[in-house]
Structure 1
Amino acid sequence: MFAFHPRSPHPALRGLVRGLWHYEESREAPQRRREMPCAEAVLLINLGPPIGVAWPDPATKTRFDTAAGFLARPHPAPARSFMGGRQRGVQVMLTPLGAERLLRCPISGVPAQFLDLRETLGLGGPGLAAQLAETTDPDACLDLLEAALLRRLAGDPPADAVAEAWRRIEASAGRIGIGALARDLGLSRQTLVRRFHDRTGLTPKLAARLQRFGAVIARLPEVPEAGWAGLAAEAGFADQSHLIREVRAFTGLAPAALLRRRLTDGLGFGA
């Protein structure tokens, strides 16, 4: 059983939150998953039995008990998750600028490791997690979580070159040229790269690559009739070889091998 309860972010969170959802899963046996790289920061609060996550070192697992959680910065490498057969939680996908607002500092300055809820949401983080764990209704959980984000992200998002660059990369699904983007913003390529990395922890090129990769992962439940070459063209890759190189770079596997690891119920990839 897997129950996925998504919610469209509040309009005030537009450009800061890509998505948020409540999930609940029950299996007959423990489950290990290979979690895909992404350009967003992941805020997760565990509301069920303990879970384990290994990132950035795939050999080192961190355990998160009930009413515990973390924020992980954008990561261009796969993570691994472990659960004993049941899990429940809430998850928020934050753009790097959304994570910056949540932390009140650029995410590029955050270590490449998990931040616990006290560091992420301030002193109210553990109390919020405990309240969420006691709330069984998915909509009520998301109401509480969204209200906490709105308080923490109060005020209008910054309107600057980096925010606009992120918006355009995201809107184009990574198909935009970085040189042309810099010119449109009135910056040199080097200046855009430096400012973007200082704020997001990613270069514009890497952010665009991750967006294209995400488009491929979204289509992997089935390969289109046109095959890998057709999928490469749809996702903005130069050709099939380009797609294969990028998937291997981000996951360590060729696309066909990754597809074979897709769980039979379609809910992620086996570790």
Structure 2
Amino acid sequence: MSFAFHPRTIHPALRGLVRGLWHYDEQRDAPLRRREMPVAEAVLLFNLGPPIGVAWPDPAAETGFASAAGFLARPHPAPARSFMSGRQRGVQVMLTPLGAERLLRTPLSAVPAAFLSLPEALGRGGAGLGERLAETRGAAACLDLLEAELLQRLAGTAPPADPVAQAWRRIEASAGRIAIGALARDLGWSRQTLVTRFRARTGLTPKMAARLQRFRAVIAHLPEVPEQGWAGLAAELGYADQSHLIRDVRDFTGLTPGALLRRRLPDGLGFVE
């Protein structure tokens, strides 16, 4: 088994629009099905290796993606399922909802499907970009190519500074610990106005965005059972108590934190389905 992960530092012009950008190359001795964790960002993925399968948000409906194909998936508070035959290679972009809005030229709430193909997400050049990436050798060269494409599509204007953008940035910066009522007051809106306008732009309510940000922190702390126990971890990450943390993990994964931890792959590269 081998795994090479190459993250790219986010270009200054893409900050606030792109949360993560990386190239990966994984080789295993047998096929593998993973349970992929929910995220608050939109996922833009280019498959550059053998065919892969993804089931999301319906775990029973798997979609296959050949080499040079890929997709953009909306944020969704439910786990995805992925399948690899033994090897996979690709590049992945984690777009904030405001970054996805700029890329798609429309708010995420207006996207008609959970999955968009590359041509649907990127226009007529989407398939061609996938093909160029698949023909490119070397992680750095792939990332250079994709970064240049993102800069062309997303840069050139100032990052959004409207109240919804401010709300997103504050939820993200607080790792989901901010009180939504207080956030609305700071923005000069009622709570209902914030909820309505935030969901219209991002496809999520502010509360769901905050929950997903806290959940991200839980996953980051799951290499082993926390020394302080689940109650201590809950307090550290801004949950009301241990039951609150357990309820969120079960809502997002269908498993308790302990059961999820037992499904963690021995090499730490995700959770087995």
Classify the TM-score, shorter chain.
over 0.9
Partner of 2:238: 236
| Counterpart Cα distance in 2 of 1:135 and 1:49 | 15
Partner of 1:157: 159
| Counterpart Cα distance in 2 of 1:28 and 1:225 | 33
Q: Which ranges in structure 2 are unaligned for 5 or more consecutive residues?
A: none
| Counterpart Cα distance in 1 of 2:82 and 2:227 | 32
1:143-182 → structure 2 map (5 Å cutoff): 143-154=144-155, 155-182=157-184
Give per-residue Cα distances to partners, 1:130-174, cap 9 Å, x unaligned.
111011210110010011111111322221000000000000000
| Counterpart Cα distance in 1 of 2:113 and 2:226 | 36
Shift of 1:223: 2.2
Secondary structure at the counterpart of residue 140 of structure 1:
helix
- The runs of at least 4 consecutive aligned structure 1 residues that moved more than 6 Å come to none
Partner of 1:263: 265
Q: Any conservation in 2 of the 1:45–1:68 contact (CA below 8 Å)? A: yes
Q: Any conservation in 2 of the 1:223–1:231 contact (CA below 8 Å)? A: no
TM-score by length of 2: 0.98
Question: CA-atom RMSD, angstroms?
Answer: 0.7
Q: Any conservation in 2 of the 1:67–1:129 contact (CA below 8 Å)? A: yes
Q: Percent identity?
A: 80
Shift of 1:27: 0.3
Shift of 1:118: 0.6
| Counterpart Cα distance in 2 of 1:73 and 1:200 | 9
Partner of 1:28: 29
**2:216 corresponds to 1:206:** no
| Counterpart Cα distance in 2 of 1:157 and 1:107 | 17
| Counterpart Cα distance in 1 of 2:49 and 2:236 | 38
Secondary structure at the counterpart of residue 24 of structure 1:
strand
Shift of 1:235: 1.2
| Counterpart Cα distance in 1 of 2:201 and 2:159 | 13
Secondary structure at the counterpart of residue 247 of structure 1:
helix
| Counterpart Cα distance in 2 of 1:4 and 1:230 | 31
Secondary structure at the counterpart of residue 34 of structure 1:
strand
| Counterpart Cα distance in 1 of 2:117 and 2:246 | 35
Secondary structure at the counterpart of residue 72 of structure 2:
strand
| Counterpart Cα distance in 2 of 1:104 and 1:157 | 14
Partner of 2:61: 60
Partner of 2:108: 107
Secondary structure at the counterpart of residue 91 of structure 1:
strand
Partner of 1:188: 190
Q: Which ranges in structure 1 are unaligned for 5 or more consecutive residues?
A: none
Secondary structure at the counterpart of residue 23 of structure 1:
strand
Q: Bigger shift: 19-28 or 223-232?
A: 223-232
Give per-residue Cα distances to partners, 1:93-152, cap 9 Å, x unaligned.
000010000000001111242101111111111111111101121011001001111111
Secondary structure at the counterpart of residue 63 of structure 1:
strand
| Counterpart Cα distance in 2 of 1:259 and 1:112 | 31
Secondary structure at the counterpart of residue 123 of structure 2:
helix
| Counterpart Cα distance in 1 of 2:113 and 2:130 | 23
| Counterpart Cα distance in 1 of 2:150 and 2:109 | 20
Shift of 1:76: 0.2
Q: How many residues align?
A: 271
Q: Any conservation in 2 of the 1:56–1:112 contact (CA below 8 Å)? A: no
| Counterpart Cα distance in 2 of 1:190 and 1:81 | 36
